[in-house]
Amino acid sequence: MDTHTSVTGLITGRYDDEFAEVADIFSSQIARTDGGASVAVYHRGKLVVDLWGGRRNSEGDPWQRDTLAMCFSTTKGVAATCAHVLADRGELNYDERIATYWPEFAQNGKGAITVRQVLSHSAGLHRLGTIIDHGSNILDWDHMTDALARAKPAYEPGTSVGYHALTFGWLVGELVRRISGIPIQKFVQTEIAEPLGLDGLYIGCPPEQRHRVAPLKSMAFKRLRTPVGRFAVNQVSRGLRAVGSPVNPHRMLNSAMFRGMEDVLVDPRLLDAAVPAMNGYFDAVSLGAMYAMLAGGGQLGGVRILSEDTVRKASAIQNNQRDRVVVVTMQWRLGYHRTPIIAKQLPCAYGHFGFGGSGAWADPEHDLALAMVCNRGGGTPIGDLRILRLSQATARAVSAGT
């Protein structure tokens, strides 16, 4: 099998010849993107696509192989994997009550909520905008966990599904902290990144790694919080209710956006904080390696992180309901979701995508994993078309080889 290097003037890296379409699509995406990105594909434990291109910042510095990008909700897949490490050791039980590990959590009717319900987004705790005063609150771990301990579920836990777009991170992260005794950002390093030899998998970003970070493009969240923006959202909501649509813009905004969000995204303190549903700083090779570990039944390169049994439990579909927040059927696993577009080609694939376009997935049937990180984009709260097209090309490459 041939390996190609120094692909074009637009992208750099290498790929195995059967994945040439992935390289072609990535190159065309970089040509159209005001920013940069990197993509990595692992097949049978081997890195078969390792490409990067574009600009890292407004000064025009080129994207590098080890450039770190803040990956928004893609972070939730890494946070969930931390919980599975504890479950694998017998320290966390998916069907145990959260309050067993975190007694203060039992307030306001939450005493019976289980770990499984939190990991599968069925705990009814997706509301964020109504439990914080300002976006700067998310930089304070104790403030957020105290607020969630006092919060009341939006519905009877276990009876419905609603994407915990940001609250997921503190819920899972506090479980990890209570059980292991260390913050989740340190847990990622000691229990996943270091054993696998990864230097690009962080929640928050250590000071010594910040020279690698690709700044995010400004995102106009403030417009949604202006009087005009609120009026538009209200009008859209009324129209949707009138026609019986399940889409509720207010619910979406409450779960994922908040007053002062745009300010927080450019606040340097975000690098110091742990927001495990949002501020993961990853490079594609490291993020892809974690998912390659999952695709390989819990091990990669001879290093075992999880047992095959735990990986099976973590990746099993937990619900098949339409999500109340994102209004599609996510088929939530324990911290991961289905992979759109490639579900027919790779029915066993699962992962997590994020706002802005980043994402990663694992397919245990083909021992296959893909990760893409970027600093320019938009799309939905759970990815955009770029990663979907790269995923389709990857699926076609593997299917053609079988």
Structure token pair of residue 156: 């009877």
Helix, strand and coil content of the chain, in percent to the nearest 5, comes to 40, 15, 40
Structure token pair of residue 239: 């129209």
CA 172 – CA 391 distance, rounded (Å): 28
Contact yes or no for 306/293 (Cβ under 8 A): yes
Burial of residue 321 (CB within 10 Å: 0-12, 13-18, 19+) is middle
Sign of the Cα pseudo-torsion (40, 43, 45, 46, in order):
negative
Structure token pair of residue 393: 């090309």
CA 272 – CA 203 distance, rounded (Å): 9
- Angle between helix 75-88 and 284-295 (nearest 10): 40
CA 176 – CA 184 distance, rounded (Å): 6
Q: Please identify every residue annotated as catalytic.
A: 73
Ramachandran area for residue 300 (φ above 0: left; ψ -120 to 50: alpha; else beta): beta
What is the largest distance, in Å, between two alpha-carbon atoms of the chain?
60
Tokens 């577009």, located at residue:
341
Contact yes or no for 250/138 (Cβ under 8 A): no
Tokens 């434990």, located at residue:
45
Q: Going edge to edge, which strands form the sheet with 337-338?
A: 3-5, 11-16, 46-54, 36-43, 368-374, 359-363, 350-353, 337-338
β-pairing, 46-54 vs 36-43, is antiparallel
